[in-house]
Copies of this chain bind each other. A is one copy, B any other.
Amino acid sequence: MERIIQNIIETKFAQLFSASHPLMMDCGEQLSSVTVAYETYGELNADADNAILVCHALTGSAHAAGYSSKDPKSIGWWDSFIGEGKPLDTKKYFVVSSNFLGGSYGTTGSHSIDPSTGIRFGMNFPQVTVRDMVRVQKELVTFLGVKKLATVIGGSLGGMQVLEWGVMYPEFVNSIIPIATSAQHSPWAIGLNDLSRQAITNDPEWRDGNYYEHGQPEKGFSLARQIAMMSYRSEKEFAQRFGRDRLSQKGDLPQFNFDKENLFQVESYLRYQGVKLVGRFDANTYLYITRAMDLHDVTVGRGSIDSVLGSITVPALCIGIDSDILYPPSEQREIANRIPKSTYHEIVSPYGHDAFLIEFSQMAKFVQDFLKNLPG
């Protein structure tokens, strides 16, 4: 019983920034108030230096571990990784997870009410960048009393935030763990994001972003998610998981099946994934955050990729996934090669990019070994 009670986590909200201390965004705009949804697990120590910041990916939320009393079925997206005795051990660490700026789960974003108009920002929200997200995270952990982060960890877009932490606040972090990510979003990943955005904006139900009173652009947003899903998975996994099965196998004879309603299992799976995201995420947010990913480039305004990643002086654990076709292992090795104190490990998995959310035992070993050997 005690265990269950421990795991009930309530998402909290912080009001950060002010008119005299606004958030200065890369795009030139300012926000004088930002609501940040966040959760914490474990306790901050007396030196305030045992904190770990967890950065989520594109459609993630602050709810990384435990259960919420509002939705006791909804377990945190990295619960296997965060908790007592787990790789991010809450007996030792104070783990902070927040919904990033522009996100869809409680933090200020395009879905929020614009105080100047009383209606939702929609496409009038300023374009956020990964650096803006990190600025807000810095404000949050400072607000929480943290003096130093033992590490910052995240995969995919989470890893982009991790790299920016290493570059923007080197004195505030003791180490970084970027996983399956980019230092400069590749044309390959940009292309995929743009297809997803077109799927949304092609949908007349998107209404130039003013769909809030009518409901989401379901078909287009579902397709956007399905396009992305293909890049998160792998040919090998699909072959093992779906084969050429149809939703309904008619008869034993392997004849051609011309029934268009009788989808292949893989088609049904993808469509289900599409509909599921439409039910839990905001379409305009998807447009903004994928663009933030495309704009992500640690070199902007700073110098060469070698000099920028070379300026990350703290230890870095870089993790790649052998079957990742979105942020391929070659890209992870390049990042590791450019960070002076880096270690590189590769997850072996058929799951593609999503393996960082699935292959916990491999991840656990890499992260535990790394944290154990960090200089205090």
Residues in chain A within 8 A of chain B (CB atoms): 26-27, 127, 129, 184-188, 190-192, 194-195, 198-199, 202-204, 219-220, 223, 226-227, 230, 234-235, 238-239, 241-244, 253-258, 260, 263-267, 270, 291, 294-295, 297, 299-301, 325, 328
Please state if B230 and A187 are interface contacts (CB–CB under 8 Å): no
List, in ascending order, chain B residues with CB within 8 A of A190's CB: 244, 264, 266-267
Beyond A190-B266, A267-B190, whether A235 also contacts B204 by CB under 8 A is: no
User: Which of B199, B258, B295 is within 8 Å of A127, CB to CB?
Assistant: B258
Contacts of A195 in B (CB 8 A): 223, 226-227, 230, 270
The answer to whether B192 and A230 touch across the interface, beta carbons within 8 angstroms, is yes
Q: 5 tightest CB-CB pairs across the interface, nearest first?
A: A187-B266, A188-B235, A187-B242, A187-B238, A194-B267
On whether the beta carbons of A297 and B267 are closer than 8 Å, the reply is no
Once bound together, how far apart are the Cα atoms of A300 and B252, in whole Å? 11
A223 contact from B26, B199, B328, Cβ within 8 A: B199
B residues less than 8 Å from A204 (CB atoms): 204
Please, could you name 13 A-B residue pairs with CB atoms under 8 Å apart, sorted by A?
Answer: A27-B256, A27-B258, A127-B258, A186-B238, A187-B243, A187-B264, A198-B223, A199-B202, A202-B219, A254-B300, A254-B301, A256-B300, A258-B295
CA distance in complex: A339, B255 (Å): 23
Beta-carbon contact of B301 and A253 below 8 Å: yes
A191 (CB) vs chain B CBs: closest residue: B266
Would B239 and A187 count as touching, CB distance under 8 A?
yes
Q: Is B235's CB under 8 angstroms from A328's CB? A: yes
**Contact status of A255 and B187, CB under 8 A, knowing A195-B270, A227-B195, A235-B325:** no
Q: Which residues in B have their C-beta under 8 angstroms from that of A203?
A: 202
- The answer for the CA separation of A340 and B129 in the assembled complex, in Å, is 56
C-alpha spacing A72/B7, complex, angstroms: 72
CB distance from A229 to the nearest CB of B (A): 8
A100 to B325, CA, bound (A): 33
Asked if A244 contacts B297 (CB within 8 A), the reply is yes
CA distance A235 to B330 in the complex (A): 11
In whole Å, how far is A182's beta carbon from the nearest beta carbon of chain B? 10
Q: Once bound together, how far apart are the Cα atoms of A267 and B185, in whole Å?
A: 13
Find the B residue at minimum CB distance from A204: B204
Docked pose: A239 CA to B264 CA in angstroms: 33
| Sample of 9 more A-B contacts, CB < 8 Å, known A186-B235, A188-B234, A191-B267 | A27-B256, A187-B241, A194-B263, A194-B264, A194-B267, A195-B270, A198-B226, A256-B301, A260-B291
